[in-house]
Structure 1
């Protein structure tokens, strides 16, 4: 890389570290660390949400899968931004009824009791560490492809930077760096796509060289496999801890709705950009590893100066998601496990210190996970199989309809987990149906049966109060 490119990348790293260190002075209590004092207005909420969910999976992962399977993967994955828009309009505003809530466990606990809150907290932590692992793996992939540094080294170096600023500044640092990272990814990756299309001979030249199956709606998936992927991306990240935490950080329901829904709209555009970059890589560099599609395009075809900025943008895309999952895991442990079951009387300053120590331990766990999975999308789908079959149905029913059925919630979460595990790992997904779908159905059926036969349905008290 040219010296000018190196300067651009170095300047980005410095900016991120400065934000983390200066923001540290604004963190005076656990609420600042968790939800930034509930002062995130909708334009900032939009930027931080978009930067969070358009990370390694949505950029490198989508480009890599489009390299292998074509636009069909984009059509399946587009379920996520559609779901985000719907959640933004119908669910996110109602989260603001739960005064003082900072986690999904807070909400589940108010409807279903402490045992369900504990299980939700454990699932949230495992899920976030898994998703964090996908971002850490993506960091290593970018560093390896661009600089030739071993992936393991890239993972450790990239994650160390994330740990420094997220541990120092908590949610405040995460939000501010996300805004910077969103500005970079929102401009630079579309520019990279335009340059790539030009290098491939323009739009017509690109389309002529892409295999016909890569332009079809279903590709090589088949109807059942496509539907499975669509549902996996639609439910796999619905209201996961980092996104729910962003909605809870808004000052009121209106800001929560606007910020959440607009991030989903942007996702529709971004998924097309990242998928198209994967097809550009297929045409220009057909023999590379799919996960290297996006960074290879950046390294090989962009002019001097712009390359460094886009590399920084790629790193920004991944780091913006990594810091979100890292912060959420820490907050979940502090709120749903430590202060609820271990030490309810812990003081604010001491809890803040515990949160920062936890942040470091979680980062290390994510590095271990990232180095043990075969690809970015594999890591993403492994994590998806945990959240949707356990938490989504009880959470949505609680928020939208005020359902209070503790026995039904606990049984449904365990049933969903069991169904997913048996179908995925014991039966190895017969008929091509993903375990996530089976687990989600098992969860919903179990919840409905037990809620009708064993639990009472009571209305939510004002402001999401305790029953």
Structure 2
């Protein structure tokens, strides 16, 4: 790698650390660390949310899957920006009703009580650590492809920087770095695509040199596989802790609505860019590992002086997601577990330091997860199976329809988790036997149990008030 490119990359890392240090001076309370003082207007919310969900999976993961499967995976993954737009229009504005809320657990406790907050906190933390692991693996993949270092070394180096600025500055640092990272990805990812298409010989040459199936909506996927993956992306990351935290950080419902919805719209454009980059890489480097499609194109196709900047943008894409999940998991632990069940009277200063300590500890746990993950997309899909079948349905029911049945929420979360675990890791291969994935089985169980228990809890009891919960 040319010294000029290395200098650009080094400058980017130094800038992140400086932002973290300067942000730390603004973090005086736990609220500053968690939701940046509830002062995130819609343009900033749009940038930070887009940067957060367009991480390693949306960049290298989707480029890699398009490399092997074609545009079909882009159509499958488009379920996520669809869900994001719908959430922005119909759910995010209603989150501003919960004054003082920082986490999903705060909302769940308001509707379903303390036990639901506890399980929501536990499921949220497990989910966040899994997604963090996928981003850490993506960071290592970038360093391996560009600099030739071991993936494990790249994971340690990149995550060390993320841990430093996110631990120091909390949400203030995360949002400021996210805006920087969003601007970089919005500029340099399309630039990489344009240069790559030119390397191939133009759009017509690209189409001629690829299998026809790579351009079809269904590709080589069966209807069952397409639908199951579509549902996984539709539900797997919807209203997860970091994204909900962003909406809660908005000053009002209007800013939450527009920031969230526009971020989802931007996702469609970004997915097209990364998917097409995967096709370009297939033509130029047919023998590489799929996860290396995007970084390999950056390393070989771009001119000196641009490579370092695009590498920084690529790392920015991944780091912006990693820092969001890192901050969110720390806030979830302190707010939904420590303060609620261990030390309710913890003072503001101690709570802030605990959040910083947990931020560091969870980041180390995510690094260990990343060292054993097989691929970026596999790590993401594994984590998705831990969210949608547990928290999502009761959470949406609470926010949208103002439901308050404690037994229904708790039973649905535990049943969904149990079925998902048995489906995925039980002695029988239930997915092969039924053609249904663990995520779908868990979500269906969650819905059936929630509705069933809710109806039973609302049956009139002799001697009790009509509709009283039992």
Same fold (TM over 0.5): yes
The question of whether the paired residues in 2 share the 8 Å contact of 1:404 and 1:456 is answered with: no
Structure 2 residue aligned with 1:194: 194
Q: 1:278-328 deviations in whole A, cap 9, x for unaligned?
A: 000001000000000000000010011111110000000000000000000
Structure 2 residue aligned with 1:370: 370
Shift of 1:220: 1.4
Secondary structure of the residue aligned to 2:238 is coil
Shift of 1:418: 1.5
Structure 1 residue aligned with 2:447: 444
Structure 1 residue aligned with 2:295: 295
Q: Which region of structure 1 is more displaced relative to structure 2, 439-448 or 214-223?
A: 214-223
For 1:402 and 1:351, locate their aligned partners in 2 and report how far apart those are by CA, in whole Å.
Answer: 30
Structure 2 residue aligned with 1:389: 389
Shift of 1:205: 0.1
Structure 2 residue aligned with 1:268: 268
Shift of 1:432: 3.6
For 1:418 and 1:256, locate their aligned partners in 2 and report how far apart those are by CA, in whole Å.
Answer: 34
Structure 2 residue aligned with 1:244: 244
For 2:183 and 2:71, locate their aligned partners in 1 and report how far apart those are by CA, in whole Å.
Answer: 26
Confirm whether residue 435 of structure 1 aligns to residue 438 of structure 2.
Answer: yes
Shift of 1:93: 0.3
For 2:210 and 2:73, locate their aligned partners in 1 and report how far apart those are by CA, in whole Å.
Answer: 15
For 1:19 and 1:201, locate their aligned partners in 2 and report how far apart those are by CA, in whole Å.
Answer: 41
Q: 1:383-437 deviations in whole A, cap 9, x for unaligned?
A: 0000000111100000001000100111101111112122222233124422101
For 2:402 and 2:62, locate their aligned partners in 1 and report how far apart those are by CA, in whole Å.
Answer: 36
Structure 1 moving runs of 4+ over 4 Å: none
Shift of 1:455: 4.4
Shift of 1:260: 0.2
Q: 1:63-88 deviations in whole A, cap 9, x for unaligned?
A: 00110111000100000001000000
For 2:42 and 2:203, locate their aligned partners in 1 and report how far apart those are by CA, in whole Å.
Answer: 36
- Aligned runs of 1:90-239 on 2, under 5 Å? 90-239=90-239
Secondary structure of the residue aligned to 2:332 is helix
Q: Which region of structure 1 is more displaced relative to structure 2, 387-396 or 207-216?
A: 207-216
Cα distance change, pair 294–98 in 1 and its aligned pair in 2 (3 A): same
Structure 2 residue aligned with 1:453: 456
Confirm whether residue 346 of structure 1 aligns to residue 356 of structure 2.
Answer: no
For 1:369 and 1:68, locate their aligned partners in 2 and report how far apart those are by CA, in whole Å.
Answer: 25
Q: TM-score under structure 2 normalisation? A: 0.96
The question of whether the paired residues in 2 share the 8 Å contact of 1:405 and 1:456 is answered with: no
The question of whether the paired residues in 2 share the 8 Å contact of 1:200 and 1:280 is answered with: yes
Secondary structure of the residue aligned to 1:386 is coil
Q: TM-score under structure 1 normalisation? A: 0.97
Shift of 1:219: 1.2
Shift of 1:456: 7.6
Secondary structure of the residue aligned to 2:391 is helix
Cα distance change, pair 409–423 in 1 and its aligned pair in 2 (3 A): same
For 2:458 and 2:128, locate their aligned partners in 1 and report how far apart those are by CA, in whole Å.
Answer: 31
Q: 1:237-286 deviations in whole A, cap 9, x for unaligned?
A: 01000000000000000000000000000000000000000000001000
For 2:167 and 2:186, locate their aligned partners in 1 and report how far apart those are by CA, in whole Å.
Answer: 26
Confirm whether residue 312 of structure 1 aligns to residue 315 of structure 2.
Answer: no
For 1:388 and 1:36, locate their aligned partners in 2 and report how far apart those are by CA, in whole Å.
Answer: 27
Secondary structure of the residue aligned to 2:158 is helix
Secondary structure of the residue aligned to 1:371 is helix
Confirm whether residue 408 of structure 1 aligns to residue 408 of structure 2.
Answer: yes
Secondary structure of the residue aligned to 2:173 is helix
For 1:420 and 1:68, locate their aligned partners in 2 and report how far apart those are by CA, in whole Å.
Answer: 28
Q: Which region of structure 1 is more displaced relative to structure 2, 448-457 or 284-293?
A: 448-457
Structure 1 residue aligned with 2:380: 380
Structure 2 residue aligned with 1:33: 33
For 2:261 and 2:210, locate their aligned partners in 1 and report how far apart those are by CA, in whole Å.
Answer: 33
Aligned pairs, number: 457
Structure 2 residue aligned with 1:464: none
Secondary structure of the residue aligned to 2:304 is coil
For 1:438 and 1:259, locate their aligned partners in 2 and report how far apart those are by CA, in whole Å.
Answer: 32
Secondary structure of the residue aligned to 1:26 is coil
Shift of 1:372: 1.0
Secondary structure of the residue aligned to 1:378 is helix
RMSD: 1.0
Structure 2 residue aligned with 1:463: none
Secondary structure of the residue aligned to 1:264 is helix
